[in-house]
């Protein structure tokens, strides 16, 4: 079964919860990641625009390639969309790129975690 199908099934089984029950292989949902990333940039109600399941090259760890939208800010600079990569197994985000309404990149951040 492909990683995309496994992630989709787990998200459905979890019913939108931030993470599935007590096993060590629980996955964060795109909505839970969006809430955390949005909160970091000033909008805990940021909306998932896209979340494509993938896996890391080095260890085949489940991850998402995501874009969220909202009223997002970093160092006083506003953005309407933020694109990034995020692990599905724990909150770790990298390659953050923020764009304004016109689609121009306005800021970036290389990585962050808990």
pTM here? 0.77
Number of domains present in the structure of the chain: 1
Parent domain of 97 = 3-17+24-112
User: Residue 56 CB: number of other CB atoms within 10 A?
Assistant: 13
One pLDDT digit (tens) per residue for the chain, 114 residues: 444 434 443 443 344 443 343 334 689 999 999 999 999 999 999 999 999 999 999 999 999 999 999 999 999 999 999 999 999 999 999 999 999 999 999 999 999 866
Distance CA 4, CA 47 (A): 21
**Contact criterion met (CB below 8 Å) for 63 and 90:** no
């Amino acid at each position: 079964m492909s990683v995309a199908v496994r992630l989709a099934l787990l998200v459905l089984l979890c019913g939108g919860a931030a993470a599935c029950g007590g096993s060590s292989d629980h996955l964060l949902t795109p909505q839970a990641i969006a809430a955390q990333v949005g909160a970091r940039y000033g909008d805990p109600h940021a909306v998932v625009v896209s979340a494509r399941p993938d896996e890391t090259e080095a260890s085949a760890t489940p991850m998402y390639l995501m874009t969220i939208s909202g009223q997002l800010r970093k160092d006083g600079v506003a953005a309407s969309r933020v694109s990034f990569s995020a692990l599905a197994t724990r909150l770790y985000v990298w390659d953050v790129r923020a764009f304004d309404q016109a689609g121009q990149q306005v800021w970036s951040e290389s990585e962050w975690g808990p």
